[in-house]
Structure 1
Amino acid sequence: MKKDIPAHKLFKLSDPIHFLAVGFGSGLIPKAPGTFGTLAAVPLFLLASYLPISLFIVLTVVMTIVGIYICDKAAADAGVHDHGAIVWDEIVGFFICMVGISVSWESVLTGFLLFRFFDIVKPWPIKWIDVRVRGGFGIMLDDVVAAFMTLAIMHVIF
């Protein structure tokens, strides 16, 4: 079964789609690739946080839409739906959960922890989406929903 093949043998960092899908290599870490993918999003978010909010939102929407293709193509190439090494959805998810939040170490840490909680525990409807929606859209959608749940809490806290 391909899921048992090490991720570094399924994904090629020389392929731009794979490079993005595996979060610049962060998803190839064998333990907790989603957490490392989200961690890889933090410096990107910090750079993007200097953009005006309208441009930050546009960037996040574009990353989400392009992510459907990136995740779909990488999963198809690997022959495994939503392989753990595919972490572009976590990168986008972190961007979503920080929309309109003032940047501080407390907000970044809280956003990171809440998003990881929702992505790992997968409360309804995240689990339902994860099980039933396939392809790149499905790979992205469960993380987008987890991110919006996080975003709602973030706006209450911050």
Structure 2
Amino acid sequence: MLAHPSHLLAQGFGSGLSPVMPGTMGTLLAWLSFAVLSTRWPEFFTPFNWMVIIVAGFVVGIWACDRTGRDMGIADHGSMVWDEIIAFWLVLLFITPADTATQVWAFLWFRFFDMVKPPPIAHFDRRFKGGFGVMWDDIVAAFYTLLVFAIWRTL
């Protein structure tokens, strides 16, 4: 992880090195960091700034995940969780303000879509390779999660 800065980022500052469910650990890091940063520095971590951070994080994540995948010899190694972090920040940005129960449901739905990869997520996962592919399928999982919430809120 410390061999190159791209590895540190792609592996979620170590959260992706968990021997048990690294994607879930990366998503938990996303949740914790979003909550802490938004609470501790609300004047900086505004919705607009979060969107800038997420877009920049997506672009930098393409590079970091591509480089880390090449260095590890596996394009989408399980220890790379920056994609989960960026995608779950996006989910949290759009559902906030939300109570803890709503955030738990967002976490569960996001993990479900990320693990099961219903169409077209599986298609994107197979079609797009490299850093963009690693990052993009989680953005689609975030979209599905937000779609569930949009439908739920209209009922």
* Fold shared, TM-score > 0.5 on shorter chain: yes
Contact 1:13–1:25 (CA under 8 A) maintained in structure 2: no
2:83 is the counterpart of 1:94: no
Residue 117 of structure 1 and its aligned partner are, at CA, apart by 0.3
- Report 1:101-120 matches (<5 A): 101=95, 102-120=97-115
Paired with 1:114 and 1:87, the residues of 2 have a C-alpha distance of 17
Q: Unmatched 5+ residue regions in structure 1?
A: 1-11
Give 2:73's aligned amino acid: G
Q: Percent identity?
A: 46
Equivalent of 1:122 in 117, 127, 140: 117
SS at match of 1:45: helix
The TM-score, its normalising length taken from structure 2, stands at 0.88
Q: What's the CA shift for 1:89? A: 0.3
Residue 13 (1) aligns with residue 2 (2) = yes
Mapping of residues 1-150 of structure 1, within 5 Å: 12-13=1-2, 15-49=4-38, 50=42, 51-101=45-95, 102-150=97-145
Distance in 1, matches of 2:146 and 2:92, equals 6
User: 1:48, CA displacement in angstroms?
Assistant: 4.2
TM-score (norm 1): 0.86
- Which residue number corresponds to residue 7 of structure 1? none
Deviation at 1:136, TM superposition (A): 0.2
2: distance between equivalents of 1:123 and 1:100?
22
- Further displaced range: 84-93 or 144-153: 144-153
Deviation, structure 1 residue 153:
1.9
Aligned residue pairs, count: 147
Shift of the alpha carbon at 1:47?
3.2
Q: Which sections of structure 2, spanning at least 5 residues, go unmatched?
A: none
| Higher mean C-alpha displacement, 135-144 vs 34-43 | 34-43
Superposition RMSD in Å: 1.5
- Give 1:14 deviation, angstroms: 5.1
Q: 8 Å contact 1:94–1:115 — kept in the other structure?
A: yes
